[in-house]
Chain A
Amino acid sequence: MSGGVDSAVAAARAVEAGHDVVGVHLALSRAGGTLRTGSRGCCTVEDAMDARRVADKIGIPFYVWDFSERFRDDVIDDFVAEYRAGRTPNPCMRCNEKIKFQALLERAIELGFDAICTGHYATLVEGDGGLELHRSSEEAKDQSYVLGVLTAEQLRHTMFPLGETPSKSIVRAEAAERGFSVAKKPDSYDICFIPDGDTRGYLAEKVGAETGDIVDRSGSVIGSHEGAHAFTVGQRKGLSIGRPAPDGKPRFVLEIRPVTNEVVVGPKEALAVAEISGARFSWAGAAPAQREFACEVQIRAHADPVPAVAVVADDALVITPDEPLDGVATGQTAVVYVGTRVLGQCTIDRTVSAVPA
């Protein structure tokens, strides 16, 4: 129970469905502020109080459990390390993978619980081969992407009461009906441990901002930057190069090289990626029967899924989209779907350009 409206309604529905429910607010940040300032970030003392009041209203016990150390190690440190390595991490995936559905789930099972219930918009379906994770009924609010990292064992211990609800506004209306003061509370977005939303500033502090070169694909230095972490593959803005490209077209970030502190730029066509792969992959349920299969791949929470072919190699999941993808950064998660079903995911560690340099 984050103090948000989704987890509030999810908890209420779980109680109504007859489950024995306890509300838990995760204390993840040591430096948690007191009051919410705007809709960014999460988990101030005020958020914990909002969650507590919802628990009071629905009549369930409420606890605040401290996972801040594990969160720091598994999510925050990983976030910084990935940027330092020139990759673009997704901390929400790591949090789901390591904290919400691992550390918290382990403790829950240890304490005698059967499942973790959250306000995520996703559905669980009992399929022929076992439990399956599917998109929610509303594409716009579907959060199956961030849950793509869950395993079959984890899925067996989850509940998503909001998955079938066609719209978020229905959930808000229900919250209002139930007398929850959080009915009107804005959603939190951005990264929960960077409450002011200034990721760039945060990284400058943690990774350090060192001036370096902006180079083209041939290696010529064409400009300078004040910190490689401020860039992500596919980015167009923020490049202070000064002189236009020979072809007059805009330049995009193609690659970040942390060792040499260089940012490589080039034309939009050079962003096109023909193949992505990742050595770290998992299946959200039973592993696929075939080694090679048609699917859809989604590389960001709000990106459209695109048709692709996936191959399960010995040491990696290799995904070849039917059409080249633009702006794929290593570190991102590729979630593989078949229809509405989440098949699994990999953390992208290798991309193959569609255009030879």
Chain B
Amino acid sequence: MIYLDHAATTRLRDEVRDAWLDAQGVVGNASSVHGAGQNARRVLEEARESFAITVGAEPIEVIFTSGGTESVGLGLQGLWRRRARGRDLIVLPDGEHHATLDTVSWLERSERARIAPVALDAVGRIRADAFHDALTGAALATALVAGNETGTINDAARLSEAAARADVPLHLDAVAALGRTRVDFAAWRGDAPSGGGLVAMSASGHKIGAPVGTGALVVSRTARIEPMLHGGGQQRGIRAGTQDVAGAVALARAAELAEQERDAEATRLEALRAGFVSGLGRRIPSAVVLGDPHHHLPSTVHVLLPGAAGESVLFLLDQRGISVSTGSACQAGVAEPSHVVMALGYSAVEARQVVRISMGRDTTAADLDALEDALVDAYERLRS
């Protein structure tokens, strides 16, 4: 089985599993006053400090959550509900993840939020000037650090700077970015005014080798965020609930390892990617590799195969034991044509002719050779 859908999820790292299991042996509610509670608390806070270092934040800014979707939802509705008076605009670039889109759409429907869309350029990057213009008088803004479909990396520093100057709170979705490209909350936040500029950033554990059910929302000290869960007031009151000590340990360890390997992995994966892309270009000249050729996650290749239904390609590859995706894994029910691809300017028909390949720690050159052969065979069959 050749698994090439690491952007959907990736294997639990051995060290992370061991650390997680170890931490499960720590019995105690981190909020309890007694020794057992203190011990659990210590383990938890060490994890928080570690994760904070990895993402460039202060420990007090790290809120552990159940994953990317919760983090994004908490960040967006949280910022919305504590927004400055008289503001009802949400700056929303095209092509965001469904966790963002669906949350914003919910706020639009149920709380009369208005949306200021921001177009992507032809390679899927958020247009910084358009983003800047949209910020005027906005309640909040959100943006992907790196796209989960195209792998395009946005200029988070520039977007954060624009938000700071406009004094608009910004949420960054770092779910696909963490561990694959540089993430630095403090550097991006800079000296933005209190409550404005970069104030929140989402991360997910299972994308980097921690268990599903782990994640974090980085929230700056002065950010105003309305919680979703109410209960014990844990984590600055922003995210109540008995804290998942083992989950935090796992997330922190996974993030630390991912960050340690990042440069070496980037070099390795970029070489594999380049080899694959050039081979593909020779054997399927009409194939289009989407996204930014210069600013992309080295692990992701998003390919448009004209005239071949993505569903059919996926099936043929699956039959050969190769797992790829046609878009984000998270679209429940009916498969939709990729809104991200449409945001790049392609038609709905073309948006169904894409295949997303995402590599991981265990991906080898042989895997990509097999993928290339399988894609060529599939394409030939579907085009004949």
Contacts and interface: CB of A to CB of B under 8 A. Distances in A.
The finding on whether chains A and B are genuine partners in a shared complex, rather than unrelated, reads yes
B318 A27 contact: no
19 contacts: A27-B333, A27-B334, A29-B334, A32-B333, A48-B333, A61-B318, A64-B334, A64-B335, A66-B311, A66-B334, A66-B335, A68-B334, A107-B309, A107-B312, A110-B312, A110-B382, A111-B381, A112-B316, A112-B381
Contacts of B315: 63, 111
Contacts of A63: 311, 315
Given A107-B312, A110-B381, A110-B382, A32 B334 contact: yes
Interface of B, helix, strand, loop or mixed by DSSP = helix
Nearest to B318: A61
A32 B333 CA distance: 8
A45 B381 CA distance: 31
B1 interface: no
Contacts of B335: 27, 64, 66
Nearest to B316: A111
B333 A111 contact: no
Residue among B311, B318, B334, B352 with most chain A CB within 10 A: B334
Nearest to A46: B333
B330 interface: no
A63 B334 CA distance: 11
Contact of A111 (B312, B332, B334, B352): B312
B344 to A, nearest CB: 20
Given A32-B334, A107-B309, A110-B312, 6 more contacts: A27-B335, A29-B334, A63-B315, A64-B334, A111-B316, A112-B319
B327 to A, nearest CB: 12
Interface string B338-353: 0000000000000010
Contact of B311 (A29, A45, A65): A65
Contacts of B312: 107, 110-111
Contacts of B381: 110-112
Contacts of A45: 332-333
Interface in B336-372: 352
A68 B336 CA distance: 10
Given A110-B382, A111-B312, A30 B334 contact: yes
Contacts of B309: 107
Contacts of A32: 333-334
A303 B311 CA distance: 40
A61 B312 CA distance: 14
Counting chain B residues whose Cβ lies within 8 A of the other chain, the interface size class is: 10 to 19
B138 to A, nearest CB: 31
Interface string A33-68: 010000000000100100000000000010111101
Contacts of B319: 112
Interface of A: 27, 29-30, 32, 34, 45, 48, 61, 63-66, 68, 107, 110-112
Nearest to A64: B335
Contacts of A107: 309, 312
A28 to B, nearest CB: 9
Contacts of A30: 334
A48 B335 CA distance: 12
Contacts of A61: 318
A112 B311 CA distance: 14
Contacts of B382: 110
Nearest to B311: A65
B320 to A, nearest CB: 11
Nearest to B382: A110
Nearest to A31: B334
Contacts of A66: 311, 334-335, 352
Contacts of A110: 312, 381-382
A265 to B, nearest CB: 43
Top 8 nearest A-B pairs (CB, nearest first) are A27-B334, A45-B333, A66-B335, A65-B311, A32-B333, A32-B334, A111-B315, A66-B334
Interface in B131-189: none
A68 B315 CA distance: 18
A165 B35 CA distance: 69
B13 to A, nearest CB: 29
Residue among A30, A107, A111 with most chain B CB within 10 A: A111
Interface in B290-324: 309, 311-312, 315-316, 318-319
B310 to A, nearest CB: 10
A250 B321 CA distance: 67
Contacts of B333: 27, 32, 34, 45, 48
A64 B348 CA distance: 19
Nearest to A28: B334
A64 B332 CA distance: 11
A346 B319 CA distance: 40
Residue among B315, B318, B333, B382 with most chain A CB within 10 A: B333
A61 B333 CA distance: 17
A44 B332 CA distance: 11
Contacts of A34: 333
A168 to B, nearest CB: 29
Contacts of A27: 333-335
B193 to A, nearest CB: 43
A107 B308 CA distance: 11
Nearest to B384: A110
A27 B311 CA distance: 12
A297 B146 CA distance: 63
B329 to A, nearest CB: 13
Contacts of A48: 333
A61 B320 CA distance: 13
Contacts of A68: 334
A234 B182 CA distance: 72
A29 B352 CA distance: 17
Contacts of B316: 111-112
A174 B312 CA distance: 33
A29 B309 CA distance: 19
Contacts of B334: 27, 29-30, 32, 64, 66, 68
A111 B319 CA distance: 10
A27 B381 CA distance: 24
A111 B377 CA distance: 11
B239 to A, nearest CB: 28
A43 to B, nearest CB: 9
Nearest to B348: A69
A107 B316 CA distance: 12
A13 B311 CA distance: 26
A208 B332 CA distance: 33
